[in-house]
Amino acid sequence: MIGPLRRIALVATVRHRVEVRRRLRHPQILVALSVGIIVGAIAVVGSLPLGIYEHIWPQPGAYHYGTLAGENGSMVLERARELGAIGVVAVGALTALSSVTSDAWEEPPPDLVTSLSVPEAICGVLGDELLERSWFVAPVLGSGALAFTVGTGTPRAAIGAVVGGLAVGLTGLFLGSSVGLGIRAGLRRFPRLEVVRYVIGLLGLLVLFAVLSLTRQVGSGLAATPFAWYGDVLVATAPGISASPLRVGGALALGTVVSVGSLSVAIVAGRSLWFNETKRNDEATELDEGSIEPTEVGRLGRSLDRFVGRPTAGVAQATWRRMGRSPRAMTYVLLPIGLLWPAVIQLSVVFPELVPVLVVTYVTVAVGLGTTLNPIGNARVALPLILTTVGGRRSVLRGHAFAALVPGFPLVVIVALVTGVLGDYTPIELTGLVLISGFLVTGGIGVSLGVGAWLPNLEGPATTATLMPPELYAMVSYLFAMSLLSAPAMLGFGFGELAGSTAAVTAAVVATGACSGGFGWLGYRYARRSLEAYEADGREG
């Protein structure tokens, strides 16, 4: 038994060490990951008595419930059971989405399957993936355990909080991996469904998080499931709380059973993914020309040719055609909904006048997520031609920008007009919203190019037929950057006594235009310099 475990651990650690070295070569990935961890930690820790922070983030979290442990232990225990169950489901959902979209299960690694048994190889790869996902899960859950302990004022509360956090994290990771691999193995038999697994995963994640965040009854329902037992572990050593010893023991036993069972399912699903002989229709998985007809692309390209030149128009045409063949790369326009939907709904309830601004901001972000967030990755196969052609670098960036701007600009403006009218905006507010939408979509494309060049995705199959999906950390960084660009509009239309006034709207338009223009130009310049730094073989110089 020791031999197989040692080999599995060796495979997982070696593969993970390679990933760590890759990330260390690109410290911007660590920066983006840190941003995600900070956002997750803020949501788990909740409000803190730190002056202005308490007003910026008033939602109660681990620290708040820790302060109430000695006074209202029964309420804290009830809430811990809800949050423990929600934590398992949330971690499991995120892990399942990662498993559904991971490239590690596309083909069996020859070096592993020829030197180890298949179960050992699968467990080694799975261990590497679990270690990678723990980079986010462990700090977030650890910050919650620390905040709860500080809130109680009793160091021994850390024992239950840490053990409970480990149990929640490990159960969610193992359960989510098995569910994700099981879904993927099932879809493998249906090539056309497998192509849209990214859409299925993101929509499922959106629905799940929207329900968990907006419906308290769901938390109460989950509190009636065995996953709620983890809540008793979380508060088992906290003062003033009478956790059930049976539930604590049951949670630890449940975690063991779920982990072992999930590992068995993962082995079966992994074997099916690696060695399934079901014939796959490569043409179906590549798709045809998508929703954009070739004649429409040609007509648009010829019109664009008159304004921006044939090289740039050619890149834009190629990008539009590749969009139709790239469901994976294009489904990430749904990411802002999955991440921000609960917060947007709550903000809309408190500030209904912000709904048009929020909708316009989302559509603007979606335009930038579509084609411009991985310009170097998309051009990787053609880099030798691009870097040795006069004006090639300029054309590829401009082509990607116009490929997003031509359909995106009118779409965003129309959305601004419709939502502004439906939101009963005054003529001044409607005009300001339309101007802001134009500034945001134009500047956002430049920011998207810059962030995509800063965090490129250069992995995956080398083909000119499809677009490369952007790096997850690039998407998170882009969302953060666009939230800053849209801040003046939020302030001008929704906050303060002057919100909606002519002065506030004018200031919002001017500030948004200046920030979007400045940062968009800087992003474009950075993307151009980054592309120039790449050698013809695709390596960064």
Euclidean distance between CA atoms 137 and 94, whole angstroms: 10
Q: Is the pLDDT of residue 368 over 80?
A: yes
Say what the pLDDT of residue 537 is. Answer: 44
Higher pLDDT, 513 or 219: 513
Cβ(244)–Cβ(230) below 8 Å: no
- Map residue 540 onto helix, strand or coil: strand
pLDDT score at 145: 93
Q: pLDDT band for 264, please (50, 70, 90 cuts).
A: very high
CA angle 511, 345, 374 (to 5 degrees): 60
Lowest mean pLDDT among 63-67, 108-112, 329-333: 329-333
- Per-chain mean pLDDT for the chain: 79
Q: What is the pLDDT of residue 171?
A: 94
- Ramachandran region of residue 44, left (φ > 0), alpha (ψ -120 to 50) or beta? alpha
Please say if the pLDDT value at position 125 is more than 60.
yes
Task: For residue range 165-178, list pLDDT tens digits in order.
Answer: 999 999 999 999 99
Contacts of 188 (CB under 8 A, 6+ apart): 194, 272, 273, 276, 278, 280
pLDDT band at 540 (very low <50, low <70, confident <90, very high): low
Q: Which of 157-166, 338-347, 352-361, 486-495 has the lowest mean pLDDT?
A: 338-347
pLDDT digits (tens, 9 = 90+) for 305-346: 656 666 777 777 777 776 666 555 555 666 666 555 555 666
Lowest mean pLDDT among 143-147, 223-227, 392-396, 479-483: 392-396
Per-residue model confidence (pLDDT) at position 201: 65
- The mean pLDDT value for 105-112 works out to 84
Q: How large is the average pLDDT for residues 393-399?
A: 75
Q: How confident is the model at residue 265 (pLDDT cuts 50, 70, 90)?
A: very high
| Cα distance between the two ends of the chain | 47
Give the three-state DSSP class for 10. helix
Q: Stretch 112-135: mean pLDDT, rounded?
A: 90
Q: Are 164 and 233 in contact (CB under 8 A)?
A: yes
Phi-psi map region of 153: left, alpha, beta (phi>0 left; psi -120 to 50 alpha): left
Question: Among 47-56, 125-134, 289-298, 315-324, which is the least confidently predicted range?
Answer: 289-298
pLDDT at position 305, please? 61
Strand, coil or helix: 467 = coil
Residue 300 pLDDT greater than 80, yes or no: no
pLDDT band at 111 (very low <50, low <70, confident <90, very high): confident
C-alpha dist (Å) from residue 43 to 46, 61, 217, 420, 506: 5, 7, 20, 31, 34
Per-position DSSP letters for 260-294, written without gaps between them = HHHHHHHHHHHHHHHH------HHHHH-SSTTS-H
- Per-residue pLDDT tens digits for 266-297: 999 988 888 875 544 444 444 334 444 444 44
Percent of the chain at pLDDT exceeding 70:
72
- Which has more confidence, 304 or 93? 93
DSSP string computed for 325-385: T-HHHHGGGGHHHHHHHHHHHHHHHH-GGGHHHHHHHHHHHHHHHHSSS-HHHHTSTTHHH
Once rounded to an integer, what is the mean pLDDT over residues 103-119? 84
CA–CA gap between residue 207 and residue 202 (Å, rounded): 9
What's the pLDDT band for 4 if we cut at 50, 70, 90? Answer: confident
- Per residue in 431-486, pLDDT (tens digit) is 999 999 999 999 999 998 888 888 777 665 444 445 666 777 787 788 888 888 98
Going from N- to C-terminal start, the domains of the chain cover: 4-273, 306-537
| Adjacent-strand bridge partners of 540 | 534
